[in-house]
Structure 1
């Protein structure tokens, strides 16, 4: 059945997904087609992308209260290139090469200190013997090819269950390292998240090869690739040839004025282009008739031929009670206390050159009493953004550790935020200097949690959404499929371009046979490229002559840190 004609469009939520969808819809629809963007926040758009500028002795310091850098890889990365080119932002870029210390040096806090992860194969034998976090890693990897095959009928499991089933529990083990990575990605417990939806490459390697290690030996090229994605990637590379060449050899990139540059330019582009922004207007109801979709916002009702919902599954269900929508396996999202700190230059000797460090689940209260998840060394991560001299850090606390706290207890943590962060950097890094600038913001429900069975939920949701007016409703955002900025841009782009075809927004998520990369947020993705598991796999290839390994995480994408420094609003809940 043909999709209904697009006569008017409403976008619920102005996260990066919703803004991107609106931008591409505006580009592909007749200019006479009106677009309306509903945002519950009174002034802010861009979801969790927010940058603030500060002055220190008349010089600038930038704080990112969400994502701070992007990685130029994969199809989703190319979609972001396309948006940057269309918005004319090439001259605003700051590029960080793979040779920079922040791209080469990653740390994990373990056994009372920072454990530097090796970045080269030759460094592994010594590191495996001397770095506490790596002890037992090689034996865990060597065990994996001989693990029992996946139980028949098992369609999904938690990350922790998968890792222990495949790699066993030996010494520190793979699961300890991955718990740190998951802290950086989802601020979550690896025993609660779906491996199939968060580390799909691991699941696919076992599916096609019976073993992660054997799969890496055989090469990911043996896993079928979706022809549509291959074609799209080729077209985008050609279309954005100059940016692709510019990004060659780069690890991450950002903008001179911070990542909010992207959303602010989208806002400027959409303004006065037959686009209406309705700030401070939360949508409370959504209903569908054969000819339109009606939105209720306060006392006002408005009908549109099409609606793009940039909201989480549970939010969509709450505003459309008359419409059937399957319940996801997890309706929770992580709440994270994000603390930005700027110290005088005297603190520099305490901060090693590198991107930052993550903290595994196994580190106890005696070493991590404030339940920090990790610290980003922002001064190294995106050099050249600040004109003021000093040391800039971002401390992330809470996540799953605070999931049982009441709203009042969380508010108390926010009030104590700067002191909690300073206590952590004092204990872990030895910084006792008073910061020049300090801001603490509690980002409520900022990172979606993909529970076991999330992929099955998406399949059911796609069938249901397709039936809502025969293609009148589309969904975008991190709550559905991919929490990185690149993922959100890609999802928004697909919907904006495909609106006339009646797309649901879930097609690329479900049809993707080989995910473009492990989903990652904030510091976690930077660790993935040189994740010791990858290096241990290579080392295992030397001691087990059968195997020849390569890096399985080279297509990982960047991720947003938790959200804007404002209260949590229901339609700014796209984590980027």
Structure 2
């Protein structure tokens, strides 16, 4: 029997354990999985906190259905019938700029009518079609890419808010190739983004005419999907399906090689031996576990920074908010000088997120461009969020419900050179057969990315017999 230890009980660790167990069963292999989670609860950043009739998401609030990974996991778990697609309202997204909320245009005519980008900015965007493609393969920052292809105004009002919304990141340091690999590929393949959009639209139309099934994403990147009880249902459903051992309150202090496998020293002083170890812990946590025995690996992991974040949930009586809440919410460009990155209208995105007659707003504060926000007092966080909501949405009332969640290391930052760091990490891991890493620090920060990475790791941990030794 092969013992496989999985470190970390977030969705990456849970889905990895599930994928390994399923793969072992399909291959008729005898394995024993042991999942170790430092905290007393499973789920990691996934935590749907239910208080006073509100459902507040501590971390992510769902996944996009335009990729199959998480949908397939739900099917395997038998929880697909509990999936909850976001309201059509979620397709309406806004950017706050120059004192107004502007709906993010979804097509060409809407873009031309929008006042978000000035006419000089629109003309600069149109010039994208004549900008030479960068095909040298070198990485560049999102800011450099934005200025080069789309212009400074598009960078400030479109790209930068998107980067802060997804990664809580700074476009001046984030890697285009690692954060948005598809955009990087489109430029190399088609010579430009507008040209790629036109040619891909023609291709899609031709395929539809030929009777082929073509996927269609509603809204930006698909439909946001969760569960009626919150996204925590996904973590709980995965945990319930595991057949192996699950230990909570079991932090790992160190990992060392021993007799063709590994010895894990736990924080309570006990030890655990395993032939295979999969870490789904954050990069900084794994670094500490490897520092004594594998300093070179630890040094590489230390090069992946994390952005801090405050998540602030406010509940209001609906009648106290005069403006329309028909939408997903809004993001704020850094140049606007506001205290928050943006606000999601959670009770407009999914039903049952607030009691009858109430609304739930969830604001994000901090990120790579404002790391000091993590040190603000609760009173100051509340005051700054209230000031922004008053300025942007005209909300003068005190919230009836307030919850503040602090993440000192919220989201890993894929800074320039991230891809090369991953290659170096993979080379180092080759020196430690049986040790694997997964999680959102490496190949994508979204739930779909985490589940996909878990499936890939399971294939490497338990390759098909004919593939072994290749």
TM-score (norm 1): 0.72
**Aligned counterpart for 1:38 among listed residues 19, 32, 36:** 36
Taking the aligned partners of 1:166 and 1:343, their CA distance within structure 2 comes to: 42
Corresponding position: 1:338 with 2:311: yes
Q: What does 1:285-434 align with in structure 2 at a 5 Å threshold?
A: 285-289=254-258, 291-298=260-267, 299-321=269-291, 322-323=293-294, 324-325=296-297, 327=300, 330-364=303-337, 368=338, 370=339, 372-403=340-371, 405=372, 410-434=374-398
8 Å CA contact 1:61–1:388 kept in 2: the answer is: no
**Worse-matched range after superposition: 253-262 or 460-469:** 460-469
8 Å CA contact 1:164–1:175 kept in 2: the answer is: no
Corresponding position: 1:213 with 2:213: no
Corresponding position: 1:191 with 2:172: yes
- Go from structure 1 to structure 2 and tell me whether the alpha carbon gap of 1:396 and 1:186 turns closer, same or farther (over 3 Å shift): same
Taking the aligned partners of 1:64 and 1:258, their CA distance within structure 2 comes to: 7
Q: Secondary structure at the match of 2:398?
A: coil
8 Å CA contact 2:262–2:275 kept in 1: the answer is: yes
Q: Secondary structure at the match of 2:138?
A: coil
In structure 2, what is the equivalent of residue 110 of structure 1?
A: 97
Q: What does 1:40-189 align with in structure 2 at a 5 Å threshold?
A: 40-41=38-39, 43-55=40-52, 60-74=53-67, 78-96=68-86, 100-103=88-91, 105-127=92-114, 131-150=115-134, 152=136, 155-169=138-152, 172-189=153-170
- Go from structure 1 to structure 2 and tell me whether the alpha carbon gap of 1:452 and 1:250 turns closer, same or farther (over 3 Å shift): closer
8 Å CA contact 2:169–2:368 kept in 1: the answer is: yes
Taking the aligned partners of 2:418 and 2:201, their CA distance within structure 1 comes to: 23
* CA deviation profile, 1:269-288 (whole Å, cap 9, x unmatched): 22xx33131x2222121112
8 Å CA contact 1:54–1:62 kept in 2: the answer is: yes
Taking the aligned partners of 1:418 and 1:71, their CA distance within structure 2 comes to: 30
Taking the aligned partners of 1:218 and 1:196, their CA distance within structure 2 comes to: 22
Q: Secondary structure at the match of 1:478?
A: coil
8 Å CA contact 1:118–1:124 kept in 2: the answer is: yes
8 Å CA contact 2:61–2:226 kept in 1: the answer is: yes
Taking the aligned partners of 2:190 and 2:318, their CA distance within structure 1 comes to: 52
8 Å CA contact 1:158–1:192 kept in 2: the answer is: yes
8 Å CA contact 2:143–2:172 kept in 1: the answer is: yes
- Go from structure 1 to structure 2 and tell me whether the alpha carbon gap of 1:147 and 1:123 turns closer, same or farther (over 3 Å shift): closer
Residue 311 of structure 1 deviates from its aligned partner by 2.1
- Go from structure 1 to structure 2 and tell me whether the alpha carbon gap of 1:16 and 1:151 turns closer, same or farther (over 3 Å shift): closer
Taking the aligned partners of 1:386 and 1:168, their CA distance within structure 2 comes to: 41
Taking the aligned partners of 2:411 and 2:384, their CA distance within structure 1 comes to: 21
**Aligned counterpart for 2:449 among listed residues 456, 479, 487:** 487
**Worse-matched range after superposition: 484-493 or 308-317:** 308-317
Query: Which structure 2 residue ranges, 5 or more long, are not aligned?
Result: 204-212, 466-470
Q: Secondary structure at the match of 1:284?
A: strand
**Aligned counterpart for 2:184 among listed residues 190, 198, 203:** 203
8 Å CA contact 1:477–1:491 kept in 2: the answer is: yes
Query: Number of residue pairs matched?
Result: 447
Q: Secondary structure at the match of 1:400?
A: coil
8 Å CA contact 1:337–1:414 kept in 2: the answer is: no
In structure 2, what is the equivalent of residue 543 of structure 1?
A: none
In structure 2, what is the equivalent of residue 551 of structure 1?
A: none
Taking the aligned partners of 2:48 and 2:64, their CA distance within structure 1 comes to: 18
In structure 2, what is the equivalent of residue 226 of structure 1?
A: none
Taking the aligned partners of 1:309 and 1:221, their CA distance within structure 2 comes to: 44
Residue 122 of structure 1 deviates from its aligned partner by 2.9
Residue 351 of structure 1 deviates from its aligned partner by 4.1
In structure 1, what is the equivalent of residue 223 of structure 2?
A: 251
8 Å CA contact 2:66–2:223 kept in 1: the answer is: no
* CA deviation profile, 1:8-29 (whole Å, cap 9, x unmatched): 0111111100000011222232
Residue 221 of structure 1 deviates from its aligned partner by 11
8 Å CA contact 1:344–1:436 kept in 2: the answer is: yes
Query: Which structure 1 residue ranges, 5 or more long, are not aligned?
Result: 1-5, 223-236, 238-243, 504-576
8 Å CA contact 2:366–2:374 kept in 1: the answer is: no
Higher relative contact order (CA 8 A, sep 6+): 1
* CA deviation profile, 1:239-288 (whole Å, cap 9, x unmatched): xxxxx99x999722210111001111222222xx33131x2222121112
Taking the aligned partners of 2:193 and 2:84, their CA distance within structure 1 comes to: 36
8 Å CA contact 2:353–2:360 kept in 1: the answer is: no
